[in-house]
Structure 1
């Protein structure tokens, strides 16, 4: 019934938002935070963010784009990173949280430049997720070998 009313009014039913898990949205928001940390949210970073969502969570491109858009809004409105890191921490074990750090490094390296703001926010997020500095650096080097960039 609601779908028919929405069609008459020219509105699309928002079925995609019903399917968005807290984990997907929190992970996307953390990737957005990394990409915006240098105040330069690039197309390359957005592409990697969407591909990461698709690959890591087995999502369609449309779902990943939708989640990325929602995450951008949520990240803009969030007072801190804690709400996102809490959502990730409650769902994932340490090894899985390390994979989230890997996604963050991939976003940071996406534009071919890694700056101190990106380094600092990944360190902060890693700390909130309980991922050790040693593991964060190891993962950074692994990602850097695949996607080198200038610092």
Structure 2
């Protein structure tokens, strides 16, 4: 399954067909990548990822954990953040992309340590999915207020 998705992600845009499950897995993998950006994978971040996946995709706990586990394996194998963001950009309407960034900030801020690596990754992801710096900052503030 991962090999197939990795082949789709590394193929040219014209020869790939990605479905909604692929988009969910890409979103989960980006959340994992954000959590691991500071070279720590804190239990609080894992719990936040599960919470985001449950809420965003209306999953039960076991399904969210399963999706996160798959995403952890995929994230470890995939070196290219750009491919994940391309899939998110294609799958998520523009009006909802700030919620994607808010979810990522929610995970990044959950360990009470906002690292430069996390900041840099979130700036890059926001830019790649078409969210402005201002909207990303507002999403960060909303995420911080939720903590």
Structure (1 or 2) with the larger CA radius of gyration:
1
- Distance (whole Å) between structure 2 residues aligned to residue 25 and residue 146 of structure 1: 24
Gaps (5+ residues) in structure 2?
Answer: 1-19
- Distance (whole Å) between structure 2 residues aligned to residue 59 and residue 136 of structure 1: 26
Gaps (5+ residues) in structure 1?
Answer: 1-19
- Distance (whole Å) between structure 1 residues aligned to residue 143 and residue 69 of structure 2: 25
Q: TM-score if structure 2 supplies the norm length?
A: 0.83
Counterpart mapping for 1:1-151 below 5 A: 21-147=21-147
Q: What is the CA deviation profile of residues 75-124 of structure 1, one whole-angstrom value per residue up to 9, with x for unaligned ones?
A: 11112112211111111111211111011000011111111111111111
- Distance (whole Å) between structure 1 residues aligned to residue 33 and residue 130 of structure 2: 18
- Distance (whole Å) between structure 1 residues aligned to residue 94 and residue 139 of structure 2: 13
Deviation, 1:145, is 2.4
Structure number with higher helix proportion: 2
- Distance (whole Å) between structure 1 residues aligned to residue 63 and residue 23 of structure 2: 14
Count of residue pairs the alignment pairs up: 129
Runs of 4 or more consecutive aligned structure 1 residues displaced over 6 Å after TM superposition = none
Q: TM-score if structure 1 supplies the norm length?
A: 0.81
